[in-house]
Chains A and B, each alone.
Chain A
Amino acid sequence: MATQSADLLRTPLFSRHQELGAKCADFGGWEMPIEYSGAVAEHGAVRSRVGIFDVSHMGKLRITGPGAISALNSIVASDLAKIGNGQAQYSMLCNEQGGVVDDFIIYRFTEDNVFIIPNATNATEVFQLLRNALPSGISIENLHNEYGIIAIQGPLAGNVLGRMGLPLDCDYMNWLQADVDGETVIICRTGYTGETGFELVAPVVVLQQLWDRAIYCAAEVDGIPAGLGARDILRTEMGYPLHGQDISPTISPLEAKISWAVGWDKPDFTGRANLQATRAHGAARKRVALKAIGRGIPRAHMDVYSDLELSNKIGEITSGTFSPTLKEGIALALVDSEHDKDQSMFIDVRGKALECANVSLPFIAASPK
């Protein structure tokens, strides 16, 4: 079970993870903590108290210049006109076919200054695509290694921020700034868990002390460090898509049912023509949320069938896991739109048919707001 660490990138908090006894593994080219005390315990801490995550592997891009926000708005799929200074928005960059190159949160500082947090694996590609697409006069910086990100997630997240002496008076999908040792830290009311949470985007020079303070203050309320294993379970319970699985360059926001994030009324964004055409005809496949009726855990890439005999394939699991909250298997899948959504579906779990119910998201009763 030795982890191959050659050539993997590490965040400035790697030594902290080792000291905390984390099991680390390759996550998009980064050697990241998958779990410390165990994914189920960490999931439970986030749902009932608070968990501290290092998500510094995620990208950081800054776009500046006169009218940066409107220049960006003609490229990305969401409508940035809907947010003001100090607000954040879920967005994505599509390709011309309408597939998703990456999904990310965009933070608006001013109309001339924008911050983007893309996925780790896609950060370089998003940087290059935007650099090529943005007009002259608008500059983009790749700050991947200049900043780290600590996510504090759970019903006691605000309590921990208060103990850390940081400001927390901030609505969901808004952000504010704080001074830490002369460095500006961005505190965002965002997350990927479905709980109340904050993400601290901090210059690497203050990252370790912020992490230590977060771990110390969280421990005072029985909070613990949490790894990417727990994070994946938490986001799947909410039905949040993961790029590379539930959305991808060949899976559109219409298929993934995140077209609520698309600014359909905008005159232009990359992929608009093809997405409008698909929207008019209806997508050939659609995301469904499946809950196992029997015992078994759906996993990504397992096939989905309309019948118990597993003869009529209708789709594939894109994300699947065991929900510690429900104590049942849950999954996101892409299936033929023609399949009657009220009919049972069956997952091929190593040759055995696992019957599933088609349910609505989120799988559990939680809200980040």
Chain B
Amino acid sequence: MTPEELSYTSDHEWVRLNEDGNAVFGITYYAQDALGDIVYVSLPSVGEELKAGTSCGEVESTKSVSDLFAPIDGTVVATNADLEASPELINSSPYFNGWLVEIEPDVPQQIDELLSSADYNALINKA
């Protein structure tokens, strides 16, 4: 449930570094499971500059709403357009089809400071 090749935040988001240097992020399996059926997603606009740790959108389920936080500093280059019609992709495929935002990192090294899958597993097992 926690792919080893990804990096994680304590806000239950994952980050994948692409070969072209861009980073993609989404929410973890644990996060979507805790939220339940996701019915709305609000994402930042392309071109928007994100600051790590600040709110950049919302993920809302039948039960509750959760803020989306930028995992690292960067500029939004794409968002997952499929989620507007099918937000449930986040539930069925949180690490692939349910990706949220692609950014061009300001400082790619910020990704190295995030949690490893082992660190993240330790975090959620403690909860």
- Of B37, B65, B127, most buried by chain A (CB within 10 Å of CB) is B37
- State the CA gap A50–B65 with chains docked (Å): 28
- State the CA gap A35–B58 with chains docked (Å): 22
0/1 string, B66-90, CB within 8 A of A gives 1: 0000000000000000000000100
- The reply on A321 being an interface residue by CB < 8 A is yes
Size bracket of the A interface: 10 to 19
Flag if A1 contacts B34 (CB, 8 Å). Answer: yes
Which residues of B are found within 8 Å of A299, using beta-carbon distances? 65
CB distance from A324 to the nearest CB of B (A): 8
Flag if A321 contacts B127 (CB, 8 Å). Answer: no
- State the CA gap A294–B36 with chains docked (Å): 22
- State the CA gap A281–B47 with chains docked (Å): 57
Q: Could you tell me which residues of chain A, from 313 to 330, have a CB within 8 Å of some CB in chain B?
A: 321-322, 324
0/1 string, B88-105, CB within 8 A of A gives 1: 100100000000000000
- State the CA gap A59–B42 with chains docked (Å): 41
Flag if A35 contacts B40 (CB, 8 Å). Answer: no
Q: Could you tell me which residues of chain A, from 19 to 43, have a CB within 8 Å of some CB in chain B?
A: 23, 34-35, 38-41
Which residues of A are found within 8 Å of B40, using beta-carbon distances? 295-297, 322
- State the CA gap A296–B65 with chains docked (Å): 10
Given contacts A322-B39, A322-B40, contact A38 B60 (CB under 8 A): no
Which residues of A are found within 8 Å of B60, using beta-carbon distances? 297, 322
Which residues of A are found within 8 Å of B42, using beta-carbon distances? 295
CB distance from A37 to the nearest CB of B (A): 10
Given contacts A38-B36, A38-B37, A322-B39, contact A233 B127 (CB under 8 A): no
Flag if B39 contacts A297 (CB, 8 Å). Answer: yes
Which residues of A are found within 8 Å of B34, using beta-carbon distances? 1
Which residues of B are found within 8 Å of A296, using beta-carbon distances? 40
Pick from A39, A324, A350: contact of B63, CB below 8 A.
A39
Which residues of A are found within 8 Å of B62, using beta-carbon distances? 39-40, 229, 233, 321-322, 324
Flag if A38 contacts B91 (CB, 8 Å). Answer: yes
- The reply on A6 being an interface residue by CB < 8 A is no
Given contacts A39-B62, A40-B88, A321-B62, contact A2 B127 (CB under 8 A): yes
Pick from B37, B58, B65, B127: contact of A40, CB below 8 A.
B37
Pick from A2, A39, A321, A324: contact of B36, CB below 8 A.
A39
Q: A321-B62, A350-B65 are in contact. List 17 more A-B contacts (CB 8 A).
A: A1-B34, A1-B127, A34-B63, A38-B37, A38-B91, A39-B36, A40-B39, A40-B62, A229-B36, A229-B62, A295-B42, A297-B40, A299-B65, A322-B39, A322-B40, A322-B62, A350-B58
Interface residues of A (CB under 8 A from B): 1-2, 23, 34-35, 38-41, 229, 233, 295-297, 299, 321-322, 324, 350
Interface residues of B (CB under 8 A from A): 33-34, 36-37, 39-40, 42, 58, 60, 62-63, 65, 88, 91, 127
